[in-house]
Amino acid sequence: MAAKTTRVALIQMSCEASTEANLAKAVARVREAAENGATLICLPELFRAQYFCQREDHALFDITESIPGPSTAALAEVVREYKLVVVASLFERRAPGLYHNTAAILDHASSNQDCIADVYRKMHIPDDPLYYEKFYFTPGDLGFKTQRTSAGPIGTLVCWDQWYPEGARVTALKGAETLFFPTAIGWHPSEKEEFGERQYDAWQTIQRGHAIANGVFVCSVNRVGHEQGDVEHNGVMMKGPEGAGLEFWGGSFIADPFGRILAKASHDKEEILYADLDAKEVEITRQHWPFLRDRRIDAYGGITSRFLD
């Protein structure tokens, strides 16, 4: 098998109130990653705004956009110039009153508008203190997918999806060899001292488990910094709730099919994380750990039940 190495870049960034400033930063960071040799680049979840799901506010539906739309148009210019594949997580307006947390996969080889090769709509939608996503997002209806890009077969899942082995498994079974998890996850400041280390460890461990169980690379990219959820869009400022806000823990990482950490970012700085992924490692790892071969597909019928009494 001929070796095919792909340089991946994860854009760990902080987000300010201005949606325009965040888009400009994202475009600049994608360009920087491309100039450093990356051809497969992922941005964090909902990078155009501070994490607004800390409250329920109908005014925030004004920041939604269509796909294709302003964000994909801006990113497509860099995608074409440098011949890239870029994963961009956006607040999609699908129709009046119907909105999704959607990852657009842009590929320079695509002939579609704004280089859009595919979209994935977040399947698992959380509803927890300061993560009130069910107010904003309709659960995805496209299922788990593999995107066959010019940089190889990838699978895109989004944040809360990363806790579910079923999503990673189905995506891998559809041919993905690298899983991307654009993410916005952080600490409640009052809980950080007691629970912070174990929360991050659990987050990283579950995703390394996906890499091992499926024999795939896993690339998880988070935002970083403290946010109240302030959003400025089209000259209108929408303030986030008073209180401690959220401290996004960064810690973006890339794991190989054996679960080893190839690269890891800090918890408190903006960074671009790079790794060179060798496609043959997927097949070699699966040859030695043949989990897909030995699956008892005749015995898993209960997995589609809510609970087995």
* Number of C-beta neighbours around residue 237 at 10 A: 10
Active site annotation includes 15:
no
Task: Please pick, among 42, 45, 92, 133, the residue that the annotation labels catalytic.
Answer: 45
| Pair 65, 99: CB distance under 8 Å | no
3-class state of residue 153 by DSSP? strand
User: CA-to-CA distance for 144 and 302, rounded, in angstroms?
Assistant: 19
At CB < 8 A and 24+ separation, what contacts does 66-70 make?
A: 66/92, 66/93, 66/94, 67/92, 67/102, 67/104, 67/116, 67/119, 68/112, 68/113, 68/114, 68/116, 69/114, 70/23
Which residue matches tokens 């699966």?
Answer: 286
Active site annotation includes 45:
yes
| Residues facing 155 on adjacent strands | 179
Task: Please pick, among 42, 53, 115, 122, the residue that the annotation labels catalytic.
Answer: 122
Q: Based on the number of CB atoms within 10 Å of its own CB, is 284 exposed (0-12), middle (13-18) or buried (19 or more)?
A: middle
Task: Please pick, among 53, 159, 177, 219, the residue that the annotation labels catalytic.
Answer: 159
Active site annotation includes 159:
yes
Show which residues are catalytic.
Answer: 45, 122, 159
